[in-house]
Structure 1
């Protein structure tokens, strides 16, 4: 079965014991909630971990405007459509000190600046299966209160999200170097 936004939403609904949807526009409460919460949930999960499917490289030109103080150059983070929109900067290919402020990178390295970042994935067909499962788990956490009003279901969804993220880290370690898993504060607080 191919991965799609609707299949990920239905996986989230399965985790909650809710009825599936046929599309994001089918008019049901679940479809409306999925439509409203899918992209923020996906972006959040993409920011949590350096998923291979979302890794992007770019060579950035310096902006004409320089920082007011502290650094000599600034660069615009990629902000175009998929796959260019930068959700999280992972690496700057220079030994220079840098800082992300808003949607810009400030540093002393002259152009071009090579970066590695996590990019937004708009087409769910490009998701890795573990990424799709993690997005479904995060979406289930987001939808649980509205669809089930069950504290047990909410906690089960959070536990499942933690487990999927741990599995993803272990799998990634086998495909290359493993990155640090950054877990949302609400996940840590629930541990």
Structure 2
């Protein structure tokens, strides 16, 4: 069952013993806290790990303006960009030297493929991530709504365990990456 932002916040509110919400604009403390904290908590959690459901690749459009120093070209980052994982060229998604600066990707290559974490829609979250996010939201909502730092710390410990569990499940969604030893072996000679 996919959840909306309101559904995720309502479940987090239930965990801390608060009233659920049906809208961010309903004028309650729960709605105000949910509206103000949801996006930041969600983006931070999405950015914290290369989640399989929130990972994409894209050929970036080159900008006319060039970087002032260090690199030859600047590229526009996607609108839903949260974090870069790697950059490549052609049919390879990694191996290119780059830097993210001024909300642009700078590199010396005239074509770039970016592998990145994007802001996925809550309806696309798998159950393991939704549960992890609900736990993190509960930890964040706890102090402003219950004024109990000890309860917030307890919820934070639960949230960290949920994060470990979610990462483990997500890591099993793909073939493990082999360690590239060529660079290490070549250094010896």
Shorter-normalised TM range: 0.7 to 0.9
SS at match of 2:140: helix
Where does residue 82 of structure 2 map in the other structure? 87
SS at match of 1:175: coil
Structure 1 stretches of 4+ moved >3 Å: none
Matches within 5 A, 1:139-150: 139-150=137-148
**Alpha-carbon deviation of 1:141?**
2.4
Q: Distance in 1 between matches of 2:68 and 2:159?
A: 42
SS at match of 2:68: coil
Q: Distance in 2 between matches of 1:178 and 1:162?
A: 23
Where does residue 117 of structure 2 map in the other structure? 118
Equivalent pair of 1:169/1:178 in contact (CA under 8 Å)? no
What CA deviation, in whole Å up to 9, does each residue of 1:103-141 have, x standing for no partner? Answer: 111111112x111111112x3211111222222222222
Q: Distance in 2 between matches of 1:40 and 1:97?
A: 29
TM-score (structure 2 length as normaliser): 0.83
Where does residue 130 of structure 1 map in the other structure? 128
Q: Distance in 2 between matches of 1:119 and 1:4?
A: 17
Where does residue 56 of structure 2 map in the other structure? 56
Which has the higher mean CA deviation after the structures are superposed, 126-135 or 155-164? Answer: 126-135
Equivalent pair of 1:57/1:116 in contact (CA under 8 Å)? yes
Where does residue 153 of structure 2 map in the other structure? 155
Q: Distance in 2 between matches of 1:6 and 1:21?
A: 7
Q: Distance in 2 between matches of 1:157 and 1:102?
A: 36
TM-score (structure 1 length as normaliser): 0.83
Q: Distance in 1 between matches of 2:170 and 2:133?
A: 16
SS at match of 2:63: coil
Where does residue 28 of structure 1 map in the other structure? 28
SS at match of 2:172: helix
SS at match of 2:22: coil
Q: Distance in 2 between matches of 1:101 and 1:124?
A: 28
Alignment root-mean-square deviation, CA = 1.8
**Alpha-carbon deviation of 1:178?**
6.4
SS at match of 1:67: coil
Q: Distance in 1 between matches of 2:28 and 2:128?
A: 27
Aligned length: 172
